[in-house]
Amino acid sequence: MAEQSAGEAAAQPQQAGSKAGPVAGPTPRRETERETGPETRPEQGAGPRPATPPGVPTVVVDGLHVVYRIYGAGAGHGSATAALRRMLLRQGTPSVHLVHAVRGVSFTAYRGEAIGIIGSNGSGKSTLLKAIAGLLPPDRGRVYTDGQPSLLGVNAALMNDLTGAVNVILGGLAMGMSQEEVHERYQGIVDFSGINDKDDFISLPMRTYSSGMAARLRFSIAAAKNHDVLMIDEALATGDRDFQRRSEERIRELRKEAGTVFLVSHNNNSIRDTCDRVLWLEKGELLMDGPTDTVIKAYEAHTGGS
Ligand SMILES: Nc1ncnc2c1ncn2[C@@H]1O[C@H](COP(=O)(O)OP(=O)(O)OP(=O)(O)O)[C@@H](O)[C@H]1O
C-alpha cells in the first residue's frame, strides 16, 4: 500500500499487492492466480477514483507487464529452411524482436463495475484484456480473478462454415451452458442479435454474414450468459444504433447481475453510456484511472477530440 499513489490508496483500500489479494473482500471467494513473476510495484499514473466505496474485488491486476516476442523478425529468419540452416551451421537462435505492450499496469475491479478501457491505437488495450482472460502470460506481475473471465471480442471463435444456428448452440455449450439452457435461450439469442429480422440468415453459414452481423451474433451469444467477468473488445463499435442501444442495456443488466464488465472501445459515447469508470492506457502504461467523465475529458483534450 505504501507504494501506491495517494489518490489510488484512498480509493482502493484492498488494492493489489497485499498478500490478502482479492479475497480481502467481505465474502471469502475462490481465487485464481495466474502466472506469477517477480512482484513489482511500478509507478503508474492515477487520476481521481470513483467516490463510492469499493465492494468485492473481481479482478486484481498487479504490476502487469506483457511482452510479445517476435522470432526471426528479420527477413527469412523464421522459415523452416532458415532454422535448418542455423542448426547445420550451429548458429544461435534467430533475432528476437520484443514488443513491450503492457507496462506495469495495476488496478482492482469490483463486482458491479463497468470499466471502459481507452487509448490510442496500439496502446495495449486488447493485450491487457487478453492477459486478464488468461490468453497471454504476464512477463512480470500478477493477475488475480474471482470467477472465470470471458473475453468477447470481434475475433471470438465461431465457425464460419457452420450456420448461425449451430454456432449459437456450440457457443452456448462452450460457455458452459447445459443443453436445456441453450435450448431455452436459443430464441432469445437469435432475437437479440436481430440476425433474422430481414431474412432467415440464422440458417445460413456464418461466412455469408457481414462483419457487423457476425459481431452482433457473437455479442448475443456471450451476453446470454451471466458472466463473472465479461470483457468486450470493440463489440459495440459494430452493429447499428439500435443494436448498440440493446447491447448497452444488456451490459447494464449484466452489471446488475453482479458481474464486472470491461469494454474496450474507440467510441467515447459507448463508453460514456455504459461505463462508470475508465482506464486510459497509452504506450502500455496506465495514464489515468477514474470516473468516466473525468478520464474521457482528459483523453479528448489529449487527442484534440471533442
Ligand atoms: N500478436 C502480437 N505480436 C506482436 N506484437 C503485438 C501482437 N499484438 C499486439 N502487438 C503489439 O502490442 C502493442 C499493443 O497492441 P494492442 O493490440 O494491445 O493495442 P490496442 O490498444 O488494443 O490497439 P487498437 O486500438 O489499435 O486495437 C502494439 O504495439 C502492437 O503492435
**DSSP state, 165?**
H
User: What pLDDT digit, counting tens, does each position of 215-267 carry?
Assistant: 888 888 888 888 888 888 776 666 678 888 888 888 878 777 768 989 898 88
Percent of the chain predicted with pLDDT > 90: 40
Tell the residue nearest (CA) to atom 4 of ligand 1: 68
Mutate to test the pocket of ligand 1, among 125, 233, 262 (most ligand atoms within 8 A of CB): 125
Tell the residue nearest (CA) to atom 5 of ligand 1: 68
CA triple 65-70-74, angle to 5 deg: 145
Secondary element (H or E) of residue 274: helix 268-274
ipTM beyond 0.90?
A: yes
How far lies 10's CA from each of 15, 47, 50, 295, in Å? 10, 12, 11, 18
pLDDT at 22 over 70: no
User: What pLDDT digit, counting tens, does each position of 80-90 carry?
Assistant: 777 777 777 76
What's the CATH architecture for 6-148+227-303? 3-Layer(aba) Sandwich (3.40)
- Say if CB 131 and CB 102 are below 8 A apart: yes
Domains of the chain by residue range: 6-148+227-303
In angstroms, rounded to a whole number, what is the distance separating the alpha carbons of residues 138 and 78? 24
Most confident of 24-33, 149-158, 183-192, 236-245: 183-192
Residues near ligand 1 (Cβ within 6 A): 68, 70, 99, 101, 119, 121-127
In angstroms, rounded to a whole number, what is the distance separating the alpha carbons of residues 31 and 59? 10
User: What pLDDT digit, counting tens, does each position of 77-116 carry?
Assistant: 567 777 777 777 766 656 788 999 999 999 999 988 999 9
Determine if the pTM surpasses 0.80. no
